Amino acid sequence: MHGPVLLVIAHGSRDPRHAATVHALVRRVRSLRPGLRVETGFLDFNAPAVPRVLERLAFEGVREVVALPLLLTRAFHAKADIPAVLAQAPPQLDIRLADVLGPSPLLLSTVERRLQEALDEAGLAPADKRSTGVVLASAGSTDPEAIAVIADVARELRHTGWCAVRPAFASAALPRTEDAVRELRASGVRRVAVAPYVIAPGFLPDRIARGARDADVLADVLGAAPELARLLLVRYEEARAARPAALTA
């Protein structure tokens, strides 16, 4: 084994597609870094729970862990839930908390990948993106920092060649996906694509899909994309290089 254990911390969901997607992403990370031990823990709904994974690692004699939140923005789970869980870890573990995944050019590339796949499936050419507006639909948050990040990502996506990009949210913030779709229609764009800015399927991604029923194209969730797997390793290496014991970073 080379370096600290990487513990990927996912939210969890009653929807079995969520855990399946998380595990597929982790398998891709392992394939990119043979020799790196990668474990998965969930905050809720799914097993194994994060505390049980940490207890097992300590029992096995592991001493160094990089805990990586499988989150796109720094909202409540990143700022409160995960640090609280890690603070209860066995004392023999030296845990470094990696940053959340976003924002990152690799995430933007993943969104572009999913949008292009959806355009291809709809029989559209790459040049059609110039006449296509995009709704970047995230899960939503009450945290102003997280909302601002989504707006920034939408602006960055606009610079990649789409004729317009609007952020939208499945919960906790406005506009909803369907309202952003209507707004783009009213602005005169030729077609509208919805890009879910979420990692795995579940309740809120399904709400995004329902809000996209009047759109021309619906992209897939980010899922186990190769760019996303590489981003997990980037955050792992950043945490390894940082000062230890940054559970509230």
pLDDT digits (tens, 9 = 90+) for 12-44: 999 999 999 999 999 999 999 999 999 999 999
pLDDT band at 1 (very low <50, low <70, confident <90, very high): low
Residue by residue, DSSP assigns 134-181 as EEEEE---S-HHHHHHHHHHHHHHHTTT-SEEEEEESSSSS--HHHHH
Percent of the chain residues topping a pLDDT of 90: 92
Amino acid letter for position 238: E
